[in-house]
Amino acid sequence: MAGGTERILRGRIKAMQSTKKITRAMELIAGSRIVKAQQRVQAAVPYSEQITEVVKDLAAAGASNDVPMLAGRDEVKTTCYVAITADRGLCGGYNAGVQRATEGEVKADVLAGKDYTIVPVGKKAEGYFRFRDYQLSQSFMGFSDQPSYEDARRIGEYVVDLFVTGKVDKVELVYTRFITAGNQEVVLRPLVPLSADTVAGGDGKAGSSDGSGGDYEFEPDPTEILDSLLPRYVEARIYAALLNAAASEHAFRQRAMKSATDNAEELIGSLSIVMNRARQASITSEIMEIVGGAAALDGGDATQGYVDMGDDYFGRRLDEAEKASSGSTA
């Protein structure tokens, strides 16, 4: 019985050692990818800032009155939520945070009597909301850990078309913003229509004579420029959200895999102690059987011979147990 228990424990220890190697490797990979993802986030900032300034200048020139993407609806009846999650699991509560935030907004809309639709980005979002029978639009997946601008362009074209055609009255992004390697937060950001605060403050109004702003001339008409530029602006914002989400995913996965590695080490130590106790119990049982059999035999010489044999066997097995214990501890 004890021998069978020892074999089972030895198998569990071997399995946990293999698991520990996998989780440790995943932790190191995620740690190396965090740096690259963070660099991509920072590299995208200048473009986002510059296109925002251009949009402000065009809006200040009087182009914001006739552009559909800047004119909000009088009544918001349908909201589109772009939920950005990962394509894979093993990243702690990363996916669950975005899913809960989106679900909370949807439930609030339903209670208010409003309609909604969800654009899932990532396999985890698509599977979660489809399993729960939420209203879904087109899904986008397969690029969560390394998004490209082309991925953002496809998402941007789709959500802009939803808004322009009147299928939705508002589009919002739900994603995890990367702050530091140890700090990320789930945020809800309006995407379309652009808010008044976004396009306010531009210095592109022509004919300013106080010197505080620029004297710009736009060719072609500012409205036409802004109408073609706003989809690029939406794509830039989606791309920035995808990059933040990718960096956050790697940070969550690194922490999750470190915790899994630590737990595997702790479990290996606990199982080793239990296995050594089972091995010592097996040795003690064998020694007691030998001594008991020797004592049951008649004849002094024969009894003494079996006792000596039992003493020798006891000494050998005790040495083996001590070596095994010292080897497991090391």
Read off the pLDDT of residues 273-303 as tens digits, 9 standing for 90 and up: 888 888 887 788 778 877 777 777 755 454 4
Can you tell me the distance from the alpha carbon of 168 to that of 73, in angstroms, rounded to the nearest whole number?
10
Cβ atoms < 10 Å from Cβ of 33: 19
From 324, 322, 302, select the one nearest 314 (Cα to Cα).
322
Tokens of 310: 């039992």
Angle value at C-alpha 86, between 84 and 89, nearest 5 degrees? 145
Q: What is the pLDDT of residue 204?
A: 46
pLDDT the model gives residue 80: 95
Cβ–Cβ under 8 Å, residues 292 and 307? no
Residue with tokens 């590299």: 43
Give DSSP secondary structure letters for 105-131. HHHHHHHTT-EEEEEEESHHHHHHHHH
Q: How far is CA 41 from CA 14, 38, 117, in A?
A: 41, 5, 28
Model pTM above 0.85: no
Cα separation of the two ends of the chain: 27
Predicted pLDDT of residue 256: 92
The tokens for 107 are 């439930």
3-state DSSP: the chain helix, strand, coil percent, rounded to 5? 65, 10, 25
Residue 72 carries which side chain, given as an amino acid letter? G
Query: How many angstroms separate the CA atoms of 151 and 164, rounded?
Result: 20
The Cα–Cα gap between 244 and 8 comes to: 45
Q: Which residues of the chain are modeled with pLDDT < 50?
A: 1, 203-214, 300, 302-303, 306, 329-330
**CB-CB contact of 16 with 271 (8 Å):** yes
CB 80 within 8 A of CB 171: yes
Kindly list the distances between the CA atom of residue 91 and the CA atoms of 39, 162, 258, in Å, as whole numbers in the listed order.
21, 32, 11
Which residue, among 19, 9, 155, 151, has the nearest Cα to 80 in the 3D structure?
155
Residues annotated as catalytic are: 91
127-175 pLDDT, tens digit per residue, is 999 999 999 999 999 998 899 999 999 999 999 999 988 899 999 999 9
The pLDDT value given to residue 206 = 45
- Rounded-to-integer distance, Cα 245 and Cα 101, Å: 14
Sheet with 78-84, strands from edge to edge, namely 115-121, 78-84, 170-180, 183-192
